[in-house]
């Protein structure tokens, strides 16, 4: 049973409804109307910080007498714990779940999984993803199944049936039409394998002069170019191709990893002392939104000229102010890994999840499956104690389920 505070928050949100502006589109071939503004704002330095919205609910509310939408029906049907589970993407082996991972996914009803390490063939991956669907589906809601399939050194699925994808530095030299066509082909292979999310493309801009010192992107050839225009062109073409194949994408790592040296997966205290709110290097993220990306991924770096007190994943200024405010993005916001990444090891696991949702985020990537229950427990406990947080959690679940419905992962009777 939900505790009263969560129930009160849920009832309040259901009454306001999604509004006509939040109705999902018929499928992934078009940009969801609930997530992308009519025009993506030009990135420019604001004279003062924009006000941070407290919720993503559109101004126009559905009539209280209207029948609940499919998404609203599902939100109501899920218990508070199941709602919290929808916000955790649990890491599993690329070749399939271990018995321990299967138990976590089944017991916590993870809203998504992502494949960690290199996987096998397309056929064996399809078997592995079928097992995930069986373990994680709840109330007719299937899980996101994600892979890092960028290309070059960051391609997790390489076995028979999967093309070897060149690095982004190579993709960026192609024409837009060629890259879109190739991305559609790569996406079709993912879809055949039962994968529905590609945690790509990288929208970070790495200046040519910084490439050799930039561990997370430049040294791995993950950038499409060393200018915002070049990076934006590659991001746009890749997103469109994957979308044509029915694969969700996540532009990353907002507000950019191009100005740092350390890789947050392995280093601590990684700080960007250059990037500013409204800077030109943010343009590729706006381009990805305009192209129809499904998610925006937030980095775990601290940006001293934006919010020196919080890592980006825990920053309301970054998520509410910049992503949802400056860029107008009302869709799903996802973390970079906060499960095994060295940068956040000192933060209690439960706090990593609650601080992100409190800051306006939605899906927590957790590479350490053993931490999933801790994160779910923390989300539930905070929602039971804090009415405002409960409302934010329910808003996040609604955004996640709306995106899942766009990709055919929600079934309503």
pLDDT > 90 in the chain, percent: 83
CA-wise closest residue to 199 among 144, 152, 236: 144
Can you give the pLDDT at residue 59?
37
Can you give the pLDDT at residue 66?
72
> What are 130-151's pLDDT values in tens digits?
999 999 999 999 999 999 999 9
pLDDT at 23 over 50: no
Higher pLDDT, 25 or 161: 161
Return phi, psi of residue 334, to 5°.
-125, 150
Return phi, psi of residue 390, to 5°.
-60, -40
Residue pair 330/35 in contact by the 8 Å Cβ criterion: yes
pLDDT at 42 over 90: no
> What are 284-331's pLDDT values in tens digits?
999 999 999 999 999 999 999 999 999 999 999 999 999 999 999 999
Residue pair 91/147 in contact by the 8 Å Cβ criterion: no
pLDDT at 38 over 70: no
Cα gap 338→327, rounded to integer Å: 24
**Stretch 217-230: mean pLDDT, rounded?**
98
Residues 6+ apart with CB under 8 A from 218: 206, 210, 211, 212, 258
User: How far is residue 337 CA from its own chain's centroid?
Assistant: 10
**What tokens appear for 100 in the block?**
């321990």
Cα gap 281→275, rounded to integer Å: 8
Can you give the pLDDT at residue 320?
98
Cα gap 272→274, rounded to integer Å: 6
> What are 47-75's pLDDT values in tens digits?
333 333 333 343 344 445 577 899 999 99
**Stretch 254-262: mean pLDDT, rounded?**
98
> Would you call 155 helix, strand, or coil by DSSP?
strand
**Stretch 30-51: mean pLDDT, rounded?**
42
Q: In angstroms, what CA-CA distances link 256 with 205, 214, 235?
A: 7, 12, 13
Run of H or E including 369: none
- DSSP structure class, residue 77: H
Can you give the pLDDT at residue 28?
52
Q: Where are the beta strands (DSSP E) in 255-301?
A: 271-272, 295-298
Question: What pTM value is reported for the model?
Answer: 0.86
> Would you call 144 helix, strand, or coil by DSSP?
strand
Can you give the pLDDT at residue 22?
37
3-state secondary structure 112-129: EEEEECCCCCHHHHHHHH
Where does residue 208 rank: exposed (0-12), middle (13-18), buried (19+ CB within 10 A)?
Answer: exposed
Q: Can you identify the CATH homologous superfamily of domain 83-384?
A: Glycoside hydrolase, family 3, N-terminal domain (3.20.20.300)
Q: In angstroms, what CA-CA distances link 280 with 42, 213, 305?
A: 10, 21, 14
* Residues facing residue 146 across a β-bridge: 114, 197
**What tokens appear for 108 in the block?**
């916590």
pLDDT at 2 over 90: no
Residue pair 284/238 in contact by the 8 Å Cβ criterion: no
Cα gap 114→148, rounded to integer Å: 8
Can you give the pLDDT at residue 371?
98
State the DSSP string of 305-367: TT-TTSBGGG-HIIIIIIIIIIS---SEEEESP-SS-GGGTTS-HHHHHHHHHHTT--BEEES
Can you give the pLDDT at residue 65?
58
Cα gap 93→367, rounded to integer Å: 10
Can you give the pLDDT at residue 68?
84
Can you give the pLDDT at residue 405?
97
> What are 76-129's pLDDT values in tens digits?
999 999 999 999 999 999 999 999 999 999 999 999 999 999 999 999 999 999
> What are 328-385's pLDDT values in tens digits?
999 999 999 999 999 999 999 999 999 999 999 999 999 999 999 999 999 999 999 9
Q: At what angle do helices 372-385 and 99-108 cross, to 10 degrees?
A: 20
- Going from N- to C-terminal start, the domains of the chain cover 83-384
Dihedral sign (CA 182, 256, 368, 406): negative
Can you give the pLDDT at residue 385?
98
Residue 408: which region, alpha, beta or left (left: phi > 0; alpha: psi -120 to 50)? left
**Stretch 384-411: mean pLDDT, rounded?**
98
CA angle, residues 383, 389, 394, in degrees to nearest 5: 80
pLDDT at 186 over 90: yes
**What tokens appear for 156 in the block?**
């997790």
């Amino acid at each position: 049973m939900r505790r009263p505070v969560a129930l009160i928050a849920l009832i309040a949100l259901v009454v306001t409804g999604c509004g006509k502006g939040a109705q999902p589109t018929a499928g992934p071939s078009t940009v969801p109307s609930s997530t992308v503004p009519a025009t993506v704002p030009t990135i420019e330095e604001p004279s003062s910080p924009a006000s941070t919205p407290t919720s993503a609910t559109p101004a126009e509310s559905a009539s209280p007498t209207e029948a609940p939408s499919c998404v609203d029906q599902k939100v109501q049907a899920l218990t508070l714990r199941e709602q919290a589970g929808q916000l955790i993407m649990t890491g599993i082996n690329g070749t399939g779940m271990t018995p321990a991972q299967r138990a976590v996914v089944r017991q916590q009803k993870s809203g998504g999984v992502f494949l960690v390490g290199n996987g096998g063939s397309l056929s064996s991956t399809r078997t592995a993803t079928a097992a995930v669907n069986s373990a994680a589906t709840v109330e007719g809601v299937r899980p996101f199944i994600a892979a890092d399939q960028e290309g070059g050194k960051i391609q997790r699925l390489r076995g028979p049936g999967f093309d070897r994808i060149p690095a982004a530095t190579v993709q960026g030299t192609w024409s837009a039409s060629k890259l879109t066509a190739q991305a559609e082909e790569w996406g079709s292979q993912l879809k055949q394998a039962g994968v529905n999310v590609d945690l790509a493309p990288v929208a970070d801009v790495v200046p040519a002069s910084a490439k050799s010192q930039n561990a997370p992107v430049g040294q791995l050839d993950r950038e499409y170019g060393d200018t915002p225009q070049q990076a934006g062109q590659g991001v746009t073409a890749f997103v469109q191709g994957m979308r044509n194949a029915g694969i969700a994408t996540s532009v990353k790592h907002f507000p950019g990893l191009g100005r740092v040296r350390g890789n947050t997966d392995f280093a601590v205290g990684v700080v960007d002392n250059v990037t500013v709110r409204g800077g030109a290097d943010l343009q590729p993220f706006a381009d990805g939104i305009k192209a129809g990306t499904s998610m925006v991924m937030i980095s775990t770096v601290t940006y001293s000229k934006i919010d020196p007190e919080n890592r980006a994943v825990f920053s309301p200024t970054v998520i509410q102010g910049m992503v949802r405010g400056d860029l107008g993005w009302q869709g799903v916001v996802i973390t970079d890994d906060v499960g095994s990444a060295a940068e956040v090891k000192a933060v209690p696991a439960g706090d990593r999840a609650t601080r992100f949702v409190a800051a306006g985020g939605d899906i927590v990537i957790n590479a350490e499956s053993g931490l999933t229950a801790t994160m779910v427990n923390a989300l539930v406990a905070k929602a039971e104690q804090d009415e405002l947080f409960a409302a934010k959690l329910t808003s996040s679940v609604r955004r996640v389920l709306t995106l899942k419905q766009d990709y055919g992962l929600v079934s309503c009777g």
